[in-house]
């Protein structure tokens, strides 16, 4: 039985809970108090309808049509047409992982009791996740205000029995699920669920919000956090392979700068390279007084990325636990207030910041790769080829890394500085946060590949340093890598080695082995 059960309550969701849920989705439930809060919120909407008050989104049109009063008999039809007209997304579907996270975040937002939905609506999303119904949600089409209208509308379509969804066709012998794409009605039927008819305010509550931005952003943060320690490990291996010095990692240097990330990174490097014969030999044999910035400034750069990610994570966790709907229901006073909580500016800025720091982490990795391949710097065979000329060695692996770094630089251009007015200037300033978060996820994937290429080069260079011995930790990592990726004695299929190296990183085997031998990194 899956132990990763998740109860949605007034308590804040944490990054740890979200990460555990994504890794192994368990059953979601709403606690008793949350159900009461949701029902109290709905009573306010029902009172408005009964007393025929005019409230935006309840009995009016939307956007520029907010001044249009809707006949009471058309209120339900209004919600249906809202969802269908706003399901205007295009492009490849979101990954199932990100779509699942988007649904979880929408449940949490609605469960705060400021959206006016019936309990049945929130429970439908819960049951769809519990029964593995993942809506097919195109990734393009949102400007991040009024929230992620198009992506969330595609999610809501399936709740109505429309659109399409992924469901589990079978479970393979490997334990992996085989998925199939079916129409929304079939997906619900196979799971024993009936389509919902949205009532007043419910369609609007479902599509208003920043859950698509937040899903992409949180996914990237979770994966980026795993790469931070990996970057320290691979950077340390490169420093050792380049016969560098640990002087720049002295604890006293870090302490007087006052940045916590920098202190942690230097501590990790010292731990990984403790008692390295190669590093010790630097003092006797190297003519370099100082290493290049990509080595000497690892604490300053890697550390700054860590500190930035701490801030970025706090922004996204605040957003995940907040309410980004409009209008908002306050059941204690019976008021419904119209505001702008759907605007994605906070998470748009944070996404762009994340793009920048991950791009720079990839950039400094690429510089270390280049140093290892340049014989005038490394004093090793050119391109780490044992017999250059007939062999190209790691020449093209570096080209791949360079291409990904350049791609990242373009993707890191901030999306949040752009705005195109929509809805006849009613929605005249938008965040473009969804694209900001979406491209950040791509940058993180590229970063993982670049670190994998650096790992390959560092292992090759360390082998070429023999008979000088690396540190105990590095030696263990090198041995582990060599169980699947042999020394590059002569040219072979490079992409296979890159993919195997990525697997060491993505599966956390590299990190786990490092901490097993040398103790936990900070």
Q: Using CA atoms, how far apart are residues 372 and 369, in angstroms rounded to an integer?
A: 5
From the number of C-beta atoms within 10 Å of its C-beta (0-12, 13-18, 19+), residue 171 rates as exposed
Q: Are residues 443 and 408 in contact, defined by beta-carbon separation less than 8 angstroms?
A: yes
Domain boundaries, the chain: 9-209, 218-326+356-418+427-518
From 21, 56, 293, 349, the catalytic residue: 56
Check if 56 is active-site. Answer: yes
Class of domain 9-209: mainly alpha
Instruction: List CB contacts of 191: < 8 A, sequence separation 6 or more.
Output: 127, 128, 131, 132, 133, 167
Which among 255, 123, 261 has a CA at the least distance from the CA of 194?
123
* CATH class of domain segment(s) 218-326+356-418+427-518: mainly alpha
**CA distances (Å), origin 65, targets 57, 84, 247, 340:** 10, 16, 66, 17
Q: Under a CB-based contact definition with an 8 Å cutoff, are residues 191 and 272 in contact?
A: no
| 9-209 and 218-326+356-418+427-518, same CATH topology | no
- In the block, tokens 């249906």 appear at 80
**291 to each of 233, 263, 296, 305, how far by Cα in Å?**
18, 19, 6, 21
Q: pLDDT tens digits for the chain (522 residues)?
A: 466 899 999 999 999 999 999 999 999 999 999 999 999 999 999 998 888 888 887 888 777 677 788 888 888 998 999 999 999 999 999 999 999 999 999 999 999 999 999 999 999 999 999 999 999 999 999 999 988 999 999 999 999 999 999 999 998 888 889 999 999 999 999 999 999 999 999 999 999 999 999 999 999 999 999 999 999 999 999 999 999 999 999 999 999 999 999 999 999 999 999 999 999 876 665 566 789 999 999 999 999 999 999 999 999 999 999 999 999 999 999 999 999 999 999 999 999 999 999 999 999 999 999 999 999 999 999 999 999 999 999 999 999 999 999 999 999 999 999 999 998 888 899 999 999 999 999 999 999 999 999 999 999 999 999 999 999 999 999 999 999 999 999 999 999 999 999 999 999 999 999 999 999 999
**pTM of structure:** 0.95
């Amino acid at each position: 039985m899956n132990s990763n059960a998740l109860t949605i309550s007034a308590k804040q969701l944490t990054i740890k809970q979200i990460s555990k849920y994504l890794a192994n989705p368990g059953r979601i439930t709403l606690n008793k108090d949350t159900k009461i809060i949701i029902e109290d919120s709905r009573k306010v909407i029902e009172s408005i309808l009964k007393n025929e008050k005019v409230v935006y989104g309840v009995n009016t049109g939307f956007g520029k049509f907010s001044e249009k009063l809707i006949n009471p008999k058309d209120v339900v039809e209004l919600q249906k047409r809202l969802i269908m007209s706003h399901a205007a997304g295009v492009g490849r579907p979101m990954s199932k992982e990100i779509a699942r996270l988007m649904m979880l975040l929408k449940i949490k937002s609605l469960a705060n009791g400021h959206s006016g939905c019936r309990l049945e609506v929130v429970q439908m999303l819960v049951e769809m996740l519990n029964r593995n119904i993942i809506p097919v949600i195109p990734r393009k089409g949102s400007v991040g205000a009024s929230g992620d209208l198009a992506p969330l509308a595609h999610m809501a379509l399936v709740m109505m029995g429309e659109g399409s969804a992924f469901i589990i066709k079978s479970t393979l012998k490997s334990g992996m699920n085989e998925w199939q794409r079916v129409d929304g009605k079939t997906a619900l039927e196979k799971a024993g669920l009936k389509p919902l008819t949205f009532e007043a305010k419910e369609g609007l509550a479902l599509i208003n919000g920043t859950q698509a931005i937040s899903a992409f952003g949180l996914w990237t943060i979770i994966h980026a956090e795993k790469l931070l320690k990996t970057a320290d490990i691979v950077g340390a291996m490169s420093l050792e392979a380049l016969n560098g010095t640990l002087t720049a990692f002295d604890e006293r240097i870090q302490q007087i700068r006052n940045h916590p990330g920098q202190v942690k990174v230097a501590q990790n490097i010292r731990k990984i390279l403790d008692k390295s014969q190669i590093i010790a030999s630097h003092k006797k044999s190297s003519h370099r007084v100082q290493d290049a910035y990509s080595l000497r400034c690892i604490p300053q750069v890697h550390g700054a990325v860590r500190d930035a990610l701490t801030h970025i994570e706090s922004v996204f966790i605040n957003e995940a636990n907040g309410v980004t709907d409009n209008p908002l229901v306050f059941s204690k006073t019976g008021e419904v207030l119209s505001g702008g909580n759907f605007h994605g500016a906070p998470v748009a800025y944070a996404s762009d910041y994340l793009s920048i720091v991950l791009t720079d982490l990839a950039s400094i990795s690429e510089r270390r790769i280049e140093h290892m391949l340049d014989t005038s710097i490394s004093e090793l065979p050119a391109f780490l080829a044992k017999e250059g000329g007939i062999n190209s060695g790691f020449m093209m692996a570096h080209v791949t890394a360079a291409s990904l770094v350049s791609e990242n630089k373009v993707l890191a251009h901030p999306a949040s500085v752009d705005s195109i007015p929509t809805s006849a200037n009613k929605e005249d300033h938008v965040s473009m946060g969804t694209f900001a978060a979406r491209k950040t996820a791509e940058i993180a994937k590229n970063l993982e590949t670049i670190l994998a290429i650096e790992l390959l080069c560092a292992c090759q260079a360390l082998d070429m340093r023999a008979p000088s011995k690396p540190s105990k930790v590095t030696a263990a990592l090198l041995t582990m890598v060599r169980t699947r990726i042999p020394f590059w004695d002569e040219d072979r299929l490079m992409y296979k080695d890159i993919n195997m190296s990525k697997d060491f990183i993505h599966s956390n085997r590299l990190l786990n082995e490092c901490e097993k031998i040398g103790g936990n990194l900070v």
